Amino acid sequence: MTAFLPLPWFARGALLRRAREIASVLARHGLGWVLARVGLDRLVPLGRVRFGEDETDVPAEAQAERLRLAFGELGTTFIKLGQALSTRPDLLPPAYVAQLEKLQDAAPPVPFEAVRQIVHEDLGAWPEELFAEFEARPLASASIGQVHAARLRDGQSVIVKVQRPGVVAQVEQDLEILQGMAEWAGAHTAIGRDYNLPVLASEFAYTLRGELDYYREARNAERFRGLFTGDPGIYIPRVIRACSRGRVLTIERVEGIKISDTAAMDAAGVDRHAVAENSVRLMLREVFEFGFLHADPHPGNFFVRPDASIAVVDFGMVGHIDERLQAALLRIALAVVHRDAARLADELYALGMIGRRVKRMALERDLDHVLTYYAAGSIREIAATPALNEMLALSRRYRLQLPAELAMLLRVVAISEGLGVQLDPDFRIVDFAAPYLRKFLESRRAPRALARRLGDAALDAADLGLDLPRRVLRLLGLLERGDLELRVSPESLHEFTREMQRMTNRLALSLLLAVLILTMGLILAAYRPAALEPYVGWLLALPFVGALGLGIWWIWSIWRSGRT
């Protein structure tokens, strides 16, 4: 695939050594087909990778396990990449999602002296000077940072997250290589173009850089704390700003039971139904009321307190749901309720999720089948997750490009319902969510909301009216000077050009063969030496058989083209 292509820019210079390391690890795990699709195949000696082996030659489960092992070996960036991909069932088959979910973000502990040095560099004092107590042994050690238990001078228990030394430089180098790989795949492979891999790589880089910036995580935590103030079912721990910087984050330590430990909740007498309601209400308020989403909702980030309230931690990954997406989600929900496949397809097109190659009629038919199937049962017999899984299977089949926020939201919905069902087997997210969705719809239609939107539209119209004459004059000036240029993207012309080339080649070959037959016939008619008399029949028959074969092939080609 890459034999005649130049070495990609991300595999040169200072990045070459790391690019070779990435290629070697992938090759050692039998992932040569991945190398060929991202432009790294020539960085590995031919004897170390089987380029003839395609991903279809090995069962999906085995390939997924190979990918998980390779990502785990490549370190922080690829562990985070695998975890991010495990949240995109719209992009990956279930076997890959299941394997990548097993990636453990764990690393050997950083020596305590290195931790002390980072705290001193960021906070301007040693840990023993800032805290009454600071435990040398970490509570947990991950690829980006590790967590230590500590106690403030006023006696409050806190946890201190300290970033691993050198992790930022390594991650930035890997992100540059990943972006280059995505751009190469987008330019040279069909899957790269269909899924717009450069955009996905940019979104992943933004998210990972957010996790590296403890300033941003502190702001996220403070924003969540402000939004949920007054909600007795949700508790957000306080950030200790005096002991927090870019590489050190100190927050209030919360005690509680991990939300997935139902046995401990039963032993403590906690009302599990109330916990389920609190967990789902948290998600609903984040999406439809605040548009600000906790994007890492695994059970380790939620702790249940004795009063069934939920304490939420770890705000490194967040998502933003703007009003446009909120409105689109509401319209999608209405299309599902009314079983309107055409309207649902319209909304998917409006969100930019459907590419040019998707056949709309086939998509509408499959959407209608899904809607009809799930509308046939009682709402108590149908959970949200199976319906989401059906929609995700459709998205993979038609290569729909889900916005990152929507894919993140689907994962949050699935996890929230999974927790709700685990906490209370009779719990159904649709039943509980219905009043909140009605409330959200009413709030959007309230006079105050409509007045605000009309005011915004009026301001936009006023700005356009003031700016429009100047733009029109500028356009007329370009027309008068002859400087107006029309740019046409050649991508849509590639298939047309290839088809015209095929037609031209067929026509030229047919004319050449016809001329050959006529010329031989004229020559043999005008000049027939006695020595060639026994072979005249063969000389005439061969071009005739060739022309007959070409005619049959041509008819078959035309018939096949008409079918496609």
Which residues are registered as beta bridge partners of 293?
A: 319
120 assigned to some structural domain? yes
151 assigned to some structural domain? yes
Structural domain range at position 62: 9-105+195-206
pTM of the predicted model as reported, rounded to 2 decimal places: 0.68
Distance of CA 228 to the CA centre of its chain: 29
Same domain, 217 and 202: no
Active site residue 296: yes
Res 130: pLDDT: 95
Per run of 10 residues, the mean pLDDT along the chain (length 564 residues) is: 49 75 88 80 60 60 90 91 80 84 82 95 94 94 92 95 92 91 82 77 87 92 94 94 94 91 91 87 84 82 92 88 78 74 82 70 82 55 56 70 70 67 71 72 66 66 72 74 61 60 69 69 62 63 68 65 48
Helix (H, G, I), strand (E, B) or coil at 307: coil
Res 242: pLDDT: 93
Same domain, 295 and 190: no
Res 117: pLDDT: 95
Same domain, 139 and 185: yes
How far apart, in whole angstroms, are the C-alpha atoms of residue 326 and residue 226? 21
Same domain, 440 and 377: yes
Catalytic residue among 41, 122, 296, 314: 296
Res 356: pLDDT: 60
Same domain, 97 and 116: no
Same domain, 240 and 317: no
Same domain, 178 and 232: yes
The number of folded domains in the chain is 4
Domain boundary among 431, 465, 499: 465
Kindly report, residue by residue over 435-444, the tens digit of the pLDDT: 776 777 677 6
User: What CATH number is associated with residue 211?
Assistant: 3.30.200.20
Res 556: pLDDT: 67
Do residues 415 and 286 make contact, with C-beta atoms less than 8 angstroms apart? no
470 assigned to some structural domain? no
477 assigned to some structural domain? no
Res 485: pLDDT: 65
Same domain, 112 and 88: no
Number of H helices, E strands in the chain: 22, 11
Do residues 250 and 372 make contact, with C-beta atoms less than 8 angstroms apart? no
451 assigned to some structural domain? yes
316 assigned to some structural domain? yes
Do residues 143 and 105 make contact, with C-beta atoms less than 8 angstroms apart? yes
Same domain, 422 and 282: yes
Stretch (H or E) spanning 123? helix 112-123
Same domain, 147 and 98: no
Same domain, 165 and 199: no
4 assigned to some structural domain? no
Same domain, 401 and 442: yes
